[in-house]
Amino acid sequence: MSAVLAPSSAASAVAVTRPDASPRKPRRVLPGFGLSLGVTIAYLSLLVLIPLSAVFLKSSTLGIDAFWSAVTSPRVLASYRLSFGMSLLAALLNSVFGLLLAWSLVRYSFPGRKLVDALIDLPFALPTAVAGIALTALYAKNGWLGSLLEPLGVKVAFTPLGVLVALTFIGLPFVVRTVQPVLEDLDTELEEAAASLGAHRWQTVRHVVLPILTPALLTGFALAFARAVGEYGSVIFIAGNLPMVSEITPLMIITKLEQYDYAGATAIAAVMLVISFVLLLGINGLQAWSARSRGVGAGTKR
Amino acid sequence: MSGAAASLAAPKVFGNAHRFESNPATREVPWVRWTILSLGLAFFALFLVLPLVAVFTEALRKGFGVYFAALLEPDALSALKLTLIAAAIAVPLNLVFGVFAAWAVAKFDFRGKQLLVTLIDLPFSVSPVVAGLIYVLMFGAQGWFGPWLSEHDLKIVFAVPGIVLATVFVTFPFVARELIPLMEAQGREEEEAAAVLGASGWQTFWHVTLPNVKWGLLYGVILCNARAMGEFGAVSVVSGHIRGLTNTLPLHVEILYNEYQFAAAFAVASLLALLALVTLGLKTFVEWRQAQAHALHND
């Protein structure tokens, strides 16, 4: 993913062909190619690829029928609905408010702007368990926010709404941090041109600025969604974890493990892994699109 | 993936907003501006500031005596020790890996490079629970190596090595994904010049590459460390929750919380929240230094 964001340096000279050497075998000037690639691939295989393949190998020993009934039992299906539904809602909330926040940070000066900018990344830095108990304390019946919402008949802690709150918290930085740099890079000339041609401010934003932001906004949405689907630590404290009501999919894996149902746990994990792979590919594509359109949107400013 | 939002490769221009506000073509009418600003900041306060304040308020609710007692209790201290051990192993390992990976990807061209970069990012998109599960499948009693391990009286899962492995997994990409774009952007000319002038590979890296990427390296290490010390889901699956033995600080928070020792749970949590704030402070500092270095470079 990261390579997409960086300018390609493929054009720089890599290999110099010696006239006396065979023309098909370029000689590399820099040392350490074999060593560094070897270490990288060995470490990656040992720690990530082989252990991850264990999930698929273990689920393949189950047999199709057992696998299917493990991943489609009613309780597991309810957990998919909750996990995906709430992740989608949380990512949507983050898209709307993340855009407003990014806009405020880039375009408006207000006291404490630098502090707000630094704190946006808090969900990346704060351990998820800490976020989980803090949100639960806030939204519980006697908490600061819970005690305000309770008289209105809104229960957040220990309901699916609590899941939404936790997933919104952990997804917050993604949209802000993908939209913010695009807004910073945006050439003011585009808006000046639109204004001089008689467009209202809203028309300019709607037809000039938002289309340029769309790829970044979608990338941020997808990143927040992907993170939310797999999230565990911040959710389990506030969710209440009622079967069929407020159990997220990662919790189902833990529950099966605690019942020593390793095969069942692995089957659900395989489903989640496939979904992660699909999301990762989608996000890669979105980032490539975002990088391309950013090249168009950004002017000659720098 | 969490790193996608934070990278030094494209230095952050946190320019002043004045250039937008002074330009009639790029500013909104006051009421629109105030609506956007207050909605954005209200969301920020509700979802980020309030939970942070709640951690410290709840931690000190029963006074400083209870607060410090919770931090100095033997189980808390051994959890702190294990957290430090796990980070002390995982961070250097992933740092060395990150440097090797970035060197291979940024300084050479080879087939399948894009695939390799995607695979390095993979641990970010795997649920922490699945990250823990894979090591149970490998090293647990019923796992691939389970029988062999128990024959030799070795324990990985439900013991310290499992916690270290899970921590290494979840922090795997941090340094690599910070260094790769940065070293790609630096190009290869400087290293090639050093090599042509007779510098050894190690000299080239130490005197040419490292000074160029030191802030990016530090940035990756800071983020890697924060995640290593704060990981919960993956570590929870492989830990077995043995008090005083396989508990890290985040797991200790959970145990205290589930035992209704709220003040103690929040006291330990406040320690982790402080770590998060220090991380954000360092991160902001490094971004500032990098922007300065970048500005100097461009002058």
Residue B93 pLDDT > 80, yes or no? yes
Task: Identify the pLDDT of residue A7.
Answer: 39
pLDDT tier at B186 (50, 70, 90 boundaries)? confident
Measured between CB atoms, does A149 come within 8 Å of chain B?
Answer: no
- Which residues of chain B make contact with A107, given a CB cutoff of 8 A? 17, 20-21, 26-27
Of A48, A116, A230, the CB nearest to B122: A48
Q: Which residues of A190-203 are buried (b: 16+ CB within 10 A; e: fewer)?
A: bbeebbeeebebee
Measured distance CA(A122)–CA(B168) in Å, rounded: 22
| Cβ-based neighbour number of residue A279 at 10 Å | 19
Measured between CB atoms, does A167 come within 8 Å of chain B?
Answer: no
Measured between CB atoms, does B39 come within 8 Å of chain A?
Answer: yes
Test mutation, B129, B257, B260, B285, chain A, max A CBs within 10 A: B129
Measured distance CA(B264)–CA(B41) in Å, rounded: 31
| Average pLDDT in chain B | 90
pLDDT tens, position by position, B187-215: 899 999 998 998 888 899 999 999 989 99
Find the mean pLDDT for residues B105-132: 93
Q: How far is B226 from chain A (nearest CA, A)?
A: 6
Task: Identify the pLDDT of residue B6.
Answer: 54
Reduce the secondary structure of B82-131 to three states and give it as a string. Answer: HHHHHHHHHHHHHHHHHHHHHHHHHHCCCCCHHHHHHHHHHHHHCCHHHH
Orientation of helix A33-44 relative to helix B113-125, angle to 10°: 30
pLDDT tens, position by position, B253-291: 999 999 999 999 999 999 999 999 999 999 999 999 888
Measured distance CA(A129)–CA(B227) in Å, rounded: 12
To 5 degrees, how large is the angle CA B164–CA B167–CA B171?
A: 140
Size of interface A-B (CB pairs under 8 A): 386
Closest residue in chain B to residue A260, using alpha carbons only: B142
Measured distance CA(A119)–CA(A171) in Å, rounded: 14
Cβ distance B184 to A177 less than 8 Å, yes or no, reads no
pTM of the model: 0.89
pLDDT tens, position by position, B128-172: 999 999 999 999 888 889 899 988 988 899 999 999 999 999 999
Task: Identify the pLDDT of residue A293.
Answer: 75
Q: How far is A285 from chain B (nearest CA, A)?
A: 12
Strands A27-28, A15-16: parallel, antiparallel or unpaired by DSSP? antiparallel
Residues 4-33 (A) with a CB less than 8 A from some CB of B: 5-10, 12-15, 28-33
Cβ distance B113 to A3 less than 8 Å, yes or no, reads yes
Measured between CB atoms, does B1 come within 8 Å of chain A?
Answer: yes
Residue whose token pair is 């998919």: A80
Which residues of chain A are modeled with pLDDT < 50?
1-23, 297-302
Residues 203-242 (B) with a CB less than 8 A from some CB of A: 204-205, 223, 226, 229-233, 236-237
A253 CA to centre of own chain: 21
Q: Which residues of B47-80 are buried (b: 16+ CB within 10 A; e: fewer)?
A: bbebbbebbbebbeebeeebbeebbebebbebbb
**Phi and psi dihedrals of A120, rounded to 5?**
-55, -35
Measured distance CA(A98)–CA(B43) in Å, rounded: 9
Of B120, B140, B188, the CB nearest to A14: B188
Closest residue in chain B to residue A270, using alpha carbons only: B130
B190 CA to centre of own chain: 30
Measured distance CA(A175)–CA(A222) in Å, rounded: 9
CA distances for A48 relative to A262, B168, B171, B256, B291, angstroms: 20, 10, 11, 32, 34
Measured between CB atoms, does A267 come within 8 Å of chain B?
Answer: no
Cβ distance B262 to A122 less than 8 Å, yes or no, reads no
Cβ distance A133 to B281 less than 8 Å, yes or no, reads no
Measured between CB atoms, does B23 come within 8 Å of chain A?
Answer: yes
Residues 149-178 (B) with a CB less than 8 A from some CB of A: 165, 168-169, 172, 177
Cβ distance B226 to A124 less than 8 Å, yes or no, reads yes
Residues 187-246 (A) with a CB less than 8 A from some CB of B: 188, 191-192, 194-196, 201, 204, 219-220, 223, 226-227, 229-233, 237
**Phi and psi dihedrals of A243, rounded to 5?**
-55, 140
Nearest-10 Cα torsion for A178, A179, A185, A186: 150
Task: Identify the pLDDT of residue A300.
Answer: 36
Task: Identify the pLDDT of residue A295.
Answer: 64
Task: Identify the pLDDT of residue A246.
Answer: 92
Task: Identify the pLDDT of residue A12.
Answer: 41
Share of chain B above pLDDT 90, in %: 71
Task: Identify the pLDDT of residue B11.
Answer: 54
Residue B12 pLDDT > 50, yes or no? yes
Cβ distance B276 to A145 less than 8 Å, yes or no, reads no
3-state SS assignment for residue A282: helix
> Are A224 and A175 contacting, i.e. CB atoms less than 8 angstroms apart?
yes
Of B32, B55, B107, the CB nearest to A30: B107
Measured distance CA(A280)–CA(B4) in Å, rounded: 12
Closest residue in chain A to residue B90, using alpha carbons only: A47
Q: How far is B293 from chain A (nearest CA, A)?
A: 16
